[in-house]
Amino acid sequence: MKIKKASFITSSSDHKQCPTTGLPEFAFIGRSNVGKSSLINMLTGHGKLAKVSGKPGKTQLINHFLINDEWYLVDLPGYGWAKVAKTEKEKWGAMIHDYLKERETLVSLFVLIDSRLDPQPIDVDFINWLGEEGIPFALIFTKSDKQSKNKTQSSVAKYKRFLKKFWETLPPIFVSSSFKVEGKEEILSYLEELISTSK
């Protein structure tokens, strides 16, 4: 798949405010500072489509981007250690939960994981919740350029072994680097496959 056109459409604080065009949606989520905005910009080839920030918790709303006039890329707020008030975190949590559970046009969620880290309870709990709720998703291990290829492969293998304690069949898994544009073709090919089967 080639992304020829990408444009910001709207930000919503509730899934009921999201676009009603019926186009398929593919959402991206991850712990704060996992490199979500950079990945979105890398995939679309638009350097400033999603706002990149060194400050965790920058994304606070459900952001819809229209891609090739055919589908939506949805940027969801990060979760984890963003330095925001507890009430704000709870509000984001409810917003994400309702979107994932109620949004009928959501085809798949992409959960971003920092490839340098051991399995974190907050990520694993979220992944297992997705499985319990039957929400389709894939994993993207980010920031592979921050360490050697061997270390990344070892880290991903460790993560797979850990998840197999809970999962019989693992979800699709990708490795990416926004800096080196790694994983772009594989992720876009998978998206294309999902789009063709969702029609």
pLDDT tier at 195, thresholds 50, 70, 90 = very high
Residues 89 and 12: their CA atoms lie apart, in Å, by 16
Domain 6-198 belongs to what architecture?
3-Layer(aba) Sandwich (3.40)
pTM for this entry = 0.91
Q: Which residue has the tokens 């998703």?
A: 137
Residue 105 confidence class, pLDDT cut points 50, 70, 90: very high
Task: Please say whether the beta carbons of 121 and 127 come within 8 A.
Answer: no
Element holding 149 (H helix, E strand): helix 149-163
At 27-80, the pLDDT tens digits run: 999 988 899 989 999 999 987 787 654 444 445 789 999 999 999 999 998 776
Domain spans in the chain, listed from the N-terminal domain onward? 6-198
Residue 10, beta-bridge partner list: 64
